[in-house]
């Protein structure tokens, strides 16, 4: 079974940057391990790429989708180096400040003329709040739709979810039907509404990642995957917030029907990203 971890931040250069969300902080790792009933990954505590690849192999993960978080000091240059250094292991998702020329420039440099695949937008974590349907983003959405570049939204999860972002994401899906949109963290805790959006709109996918792991509402994602939208739910570990092995094991432990498991663990991710297996 080909497996893609759709949300993964390895211990590499600026991915370990200090910031509001220092993902490799031991205190945060302890908190999230309890929150998600996960194990703390030794590679995260030791910040070791060697251990990371051992854990990746043990989890049966073939490729990891790696989003940059520019609001916490992440750098697209480091993502590029990661992809080039560890060939065929990573799928790169860039980021840049919204409403700035830097975002369009980064799309051209790292995706159109580079090896990266998509962009990530994190309105809940930027230095200012903004709605994803802000008209100032239209030129970016048009460009991504035209060139087949998927857009990932990080909305929900430990940073909360603004209710108005749900209707905003729906509006983007309506206005740009050719634009592939992936809702990371599954818009948790708005689980049912998130599943509804993915069911109603052909261009919306849900990366449920660790929010399908024994948190309130996870059964909604599981039911959606098993019966309503088996082609729209996407596996992710959210490493280092949960260990890759814990996340993969939970998805494979019987909560998903055998006939949808291969889709959720890899096929849906490739489809959303427009990548051939």
Q: What are phi and psi of 244, to 5 degrees?
A: -60, -40
Residue 196's pLDDT is what?
96
The structural architecture, per CATH, of the domain 4-273 is: Alpha-Beta Barrel (3.20)
Residue 2's pLDDT is what?
96
Do the Cβ atoms of 99 and 124 come closer than 8 Å?
no
Q: What are phi and psi of 251, to 5 degrees?
A: -65, -35
Residue 86's pLDDT is what?
96
3-state secondary structure labels for all residues of 166-231: HHHHHHHHHHCCCCCEEEEHHHCCCHHHHHHHHHHCCCEEEECHHHHCCCCCHHHHHHHHHHHCCC
Residue 226's pLDDT is what?
98
* CA atoms of 152 and 138, how far apart (whole Å): 15
Strands across the sheet containing 233-234: 4-5, 63-67, 90-94, 118-121, 151-154, 181-184, 204-207, 233-234
Mean pLDDT by 10 residues, the chain (277 residues): 97 83 89 90 97 98 96 92 96 95 96 98 84 96 98 77 84 98 93 96 96 92 98 97 95 94 98 89
* CA atoms of 136 and 98, how far apart (whole Å): 9
* CA atoms of 128 and 137, how far apart (whole Å): 15
Do the Cβ atoms of 194 and 186 come closer than 8 Å?
yes
Which one, of 275, 277, 231, 225, lies nearest residue 255 by Cα?
225
- Domain boundary assignment for the chain: 4-273
Polymer length of the chain:
277
Residue with tokens 């799309």: 107
Cα separation values, 197 from 66, 69, 81, 166, 206, Å? 24, 25, 35, 9, 9
Residue 123's pLDDT is what?
87
């Amino acid at each position: 079974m080909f497996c893609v971890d759709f949300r993964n931040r390895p211990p590499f250069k600026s991915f370990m940057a200090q910031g509001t969300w220092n993902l490799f902080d031991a205190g945060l790792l302890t908190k999230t391990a309890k929150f998600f009933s996960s194990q703390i990954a030794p590679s995260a505590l030791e910040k070791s790429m060697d251990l990371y690849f051992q854990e990746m192999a043990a989890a049966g993960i073939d490729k990891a989708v790696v989003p940059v978080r520019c609001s916490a000091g992440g750098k697209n240059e480091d993502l590029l180096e990661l992809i080039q250094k560890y060939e065929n292991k990573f799928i790169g998702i860039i980021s840049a400040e919204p409403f700035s020329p830097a975002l369009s420039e980064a799309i051209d440099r790292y995706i159109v003329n580079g090896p990266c695949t998509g962009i990530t937008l994190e309105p809940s974590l930027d230095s200012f709040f903004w709605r994803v349907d802000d008209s100032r983003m239209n030129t970016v959405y048009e460009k991504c739709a035209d060139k087949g570049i998927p857009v990932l939204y990080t909305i929900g999860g430990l940073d909360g979810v603004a209710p108005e972002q749900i209707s905003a994401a729906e509006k983007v899906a309506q206005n740009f039907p050719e634009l592939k949109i992936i809702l990371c963290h599954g818009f948790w805790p708005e689980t049912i509404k998130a599943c509804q959006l993915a069911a109603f709109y052909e261009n919306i996918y849900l990366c449920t990642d660790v929010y399908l792991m024994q948190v309130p509402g996870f059964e909604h994602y599981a039911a959606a995957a098993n019966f309503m939208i088996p082609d729209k739910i996407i596996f992710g570990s959210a490493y280092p917030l949960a260990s890759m092995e814990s996340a993969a094991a939970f998805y494979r432990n019987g909560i998903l029907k055998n006939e949808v498991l291969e889709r959720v663990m890899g096929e849906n991710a490739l489809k959303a990203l427009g990548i051939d297996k």
